[in-house]
Amino acid sequence: MTLAEVKALLSAEVICGKDKLNLPIKSVCAGDLLSDLLAFSHNKTLLLTGLNNAQVIRTAEIIDLAAIIFVRGKRPHSDMVELAEEKGIPLLVTRLPLYESCGILYCAGLREEKPHKGF
Amino acid sequence: MKGVSCLFQEPEVTSDFKNCENKNETGAESPFEHKVTLEFAVEGKNFRAAGEASSRLKHTLQHIGFPAPLVRRVAVAAYEAEMNIIIHANRGTLKAEITPKTVTIWAEDEGPGIPDIELAMQEGYSTAPDYIREMGFGAGMGLPNIKKCSDILEIETVIGAGTRLKMVIFNKTGPEREK
């Protein structure tokens, strides 16, 4: 599935990274705890989050996440968008809540990441 | 730094570490023989710049051509250590020494120190205030994550003075320039 297909499924709006909509999305993670993402997520995973601050972008850059979708219509601030553009991370916003967003992507065949087997 | 210190070390890794001290023993030509050192100042409570030092360290490793899993371990360990300085300390430094076989990171700060290292190493234990938790940190995963990413972790801390972390991460495959 591409990021464009994810965008369509969640009726999401692209805030930045329009040129990266053909990015393949193979796994998804969801949550608001950045240390958990740092510990357990994989490279090139899509993140769904309700957390709306610059550390989300920083964390995504450190662990090479594919893209970030903010749920429940939370729009990133301009300094976050600037940072994401600089780091080349696409940002999207969906009006759907986290649980529903996850459910839609799961039903469409996207699965969670496989458990991390350590470093 | 005097005070409480704690050492987390995997015994089998120690011998690797000793071996790589003699890295030029074989005389084999390596594409990356010199040491690279980096040093960044980290300002306490400056959340705007939080992560920039680790990001630059990560890009340096990528530029040299280290394999992705090593880059990730270094980046995560450095980022958690950098966040710890920003969250808990007044100021500090993040230093890294990069050689073909090891990356060593030192995170030193002037701050409150860690009263109980054993407790701080437990997943879920945190002294971070609520506003830090609202940012997605302060869940008591910082030091455990650092330990998970590092082959050797040393912590020295003095209450009321500061903390020094030394993290050593081994490159098990060697740099891959062509990547």
Q: What is the DSSP string of B61-121?
A: HHHHT--HHHHHHHHHHHHHHHHHHHHH-SEEEEEEEE-SSEEEEEEEEES---S-HHHHT
Residues of A in contact with B143 (CB under 8 A): none
The closest of B142, B179, B150 to B167, measured between CA atoms, is B150
pLDDT exceeding 90 applies to what percent of chain B? 74
Do residues A35 and B80 make contact, with C-beta atoms less than 8 angstroms apart?
A: yes
At residue A112, the pLDDT reads 74
Q: Give chain A's count of helices (H) and strands (E).
A: 5, 6
At residue B13, the pLDDT reads 31
* Inter-chain CB proximity A36 and B80 less than 8 Å: no
Res A94 pLDDT > 60 = yes
Q: What is the pLDDT of residues A26-65, one digit of tens each?
A: 999 999 999 888 988 877 899 999 999 999 999 999 999 9
Which of the four pLDDT bands, split at 50, 70 and 90, describes residue B156?
Answer: very high
Res B16 pLDDT > 50 = no
Q: Does A77 touch chain B (CB under 8 A)?
A: no
* Inter-chain CB proximity A119 and B73 less than 8 Å: yes
At residue B5, the pLDDT reads 54
pTM, entire model? 0.85
Residues of A in contact with B145 (CB under 8 A): 35, 38-39
Q: Does A78 touch chain B (CB under 8 A)?
A: no
Which of the four pLDDT bands, split at 50, 70 and 90, describes residue B111?
Answer: very high
Closest-CA distance, A21 to chain B, in angstroms, reads: 24
Which of the four pLDDT bands, split at 50, 70 and 90, describes residue A116?
Answer: low
pLDDT top residue among B177 and A116: A116
